[in-house]
Amino acid sequence: MQDKNRFALKEWAVVLKALSEGRQTILLRKGGLIEKKVGFTIEHAEFFIYPTYLHQQRMGVVPEAAADLEQLFASPPPEDRIILSHYAVVEEAVKITDMERLRTLEGYHYLNTREVEKRFFYGKAPGLHLILLRVYRLPEPFRLRPRPHYAGCRSWVDLGEELWTAGCRPVLDDAAFDKKTVRIAEILSRSAQSYPSD
């Protein structure tokens, strides 16, 4: 893990809650409007997770996420602060271009089928990046003032300053994380045999 980092990945706050509690270890990403022409790329192997509230929707998450989402809607953070509480390291990443393979991962993330399909078919080239993350909790959240270049429908944010990662602790211990990783790998391996187009 890097000692410090200046980059963050924007993600729905409700998804961050699932990541922060170890209920989710993967992200399914396409990219924001600003990245529409070039597409989403995994620019950084480590990053802070920047929670977003604007685009997360009740119609986009599984029923199990509904209570978390309502809680977030009821208690939004101060508008003059960005709160960074978690850090992530990319363990593996793969682009999936078969929707049926993505359906085999239902239950391993908070997005419902409708939202996954919407992201999958967004833009010119169908597909989504599956990113397996090891998520860490910061000892104390960073509370940053929003800057103009943070705004917009973009995935990656240069925070403009290096933030320390010292004292981070993994959300899941090694055994629990390995168990989830093996299970996801097994699912993807089986689906690749059934849908070998990737």
Residue-wise pLDDT for 13-60, tens only, equals 999 999 999 999 999 998 554 444 555 678 899 999 999 987 778 889
Average pLDDT rounded to a whole number, residues 138-165: 92
Structure tokens at 169: 């602790």
**Confidence at 69, pLDDT banded by 50, 70, 90:** very high
User: For the chain, what is the domain count?
Assistant: 1
Can you give the pLDDT at residue 61?
94
Can you give the pLDDT at residue 40?
63
Task: State percent of the chain over pLDDT 70.
Answer: 91
DSSP the chain: --SEEEEEEEEEHHHHHHHHTTS--EEEE---GGGTTT------SEEEEEEE-SS--GGGB-GGGHHHHHHHHHSPPPTT-EEEEEEEEEEEEEEE--HHHHHTTTTSSSB-HHHHHHHHHSSSS--EEEEEEEEEEEEEEEEE---GGG-SS-SEEEEEEEEE-TT-EESS-HHHHHHHHHHHHHHHHHHHHHSTT-
Could you list the residue range(s) of the whole structural domain that residue 68 is in?
4-194
Can you give the pLDDT at residue 31?
58
Average pLDDT, whole number, for the chain?
Answer: 89
Provide the Cα torsion 53, 54, 60, 64; round to 10°: 20
Can you give the pLDDT at residue 191?
65
